[in-house]
Structure 1
Amino acid sequence: MSNEPPTPPAGLPTDVLDALDGYDPDRLRSVAGYAEALAEHKACEARPEGGSSEDDVEERPDDVPSKATITIKEINDNRYYYWQWREGDTVTSKYKGPVSPDR
C-alpha cells in the first residue's frame, strides 16, 4: 500500500472531501458500506418493474438477516456480490459470489 493518500473521484464536492478527511478509518469503512448499500438501493429503484433481482438468484443463508441487501464491490477489477446489513454503528458484509459477466 502506498504512503500517498488516494485520489478522490472527480466531481466530489469539497465539503464532502473535507468531512471524509476528518474521519477515522472505522468511520470511513462505515461510510463506504453505507454508500455501497445506498447505491444498490438506488439501482434497485431504477430497475424496471418485473426485472430480476439478485435475491431471486440464490436463497438467503441462515446467518444473513432478513434486512440484509445485496451490494456489489469491485476488487482488483473484478465485481462480487456481498450481503450487507447494519449492526448498530457497524456495517457487516458477507461474501455471496462473483457477478456474472452476462448481467
Structure 2
Amino acid sequence: MVRRTPDHRPYRGGHIIPRRNPPTDAEARAWAEVLVHRRHLYAAVAAPNGQWLVQPAPAAPVRVLDGPAAVLDLTAQIQRRIRTPEARGR
C-alpha cells in the first residue's frame, strides 16, 4: 500500500510522521554515526559550512551533501535499499 502526504514522498508500510521542523545538525550527526557504525558508509564528516562529506567505501569518491536534510535523505535511501525483499534474502 502506498500512502501519500502533502509534504512527503510515497512510503510503503508503517506510519509517516510529518516533520514540523527542518532536520537539525544533531540529528544528522546521529544518523551519520549510525550509518558509519553499521558500515553503510565508510565516512561521514560535517564541514564547517554546513555541508557534509560522505564516502560509501574507501576507494569511492567523496560526495558533498548540502546540509542535514540531505543526510536524512541519504539515510532514507539506504534504509529503503536494505529493507527491500531482495536485500533481506541475502
Query: Could you state the TM-score of these two structures normalised by the residue count of structure 2?
Result: 0.31
Instruction: Give TM-score, length-normalised by structure 1.
Output: 0.29
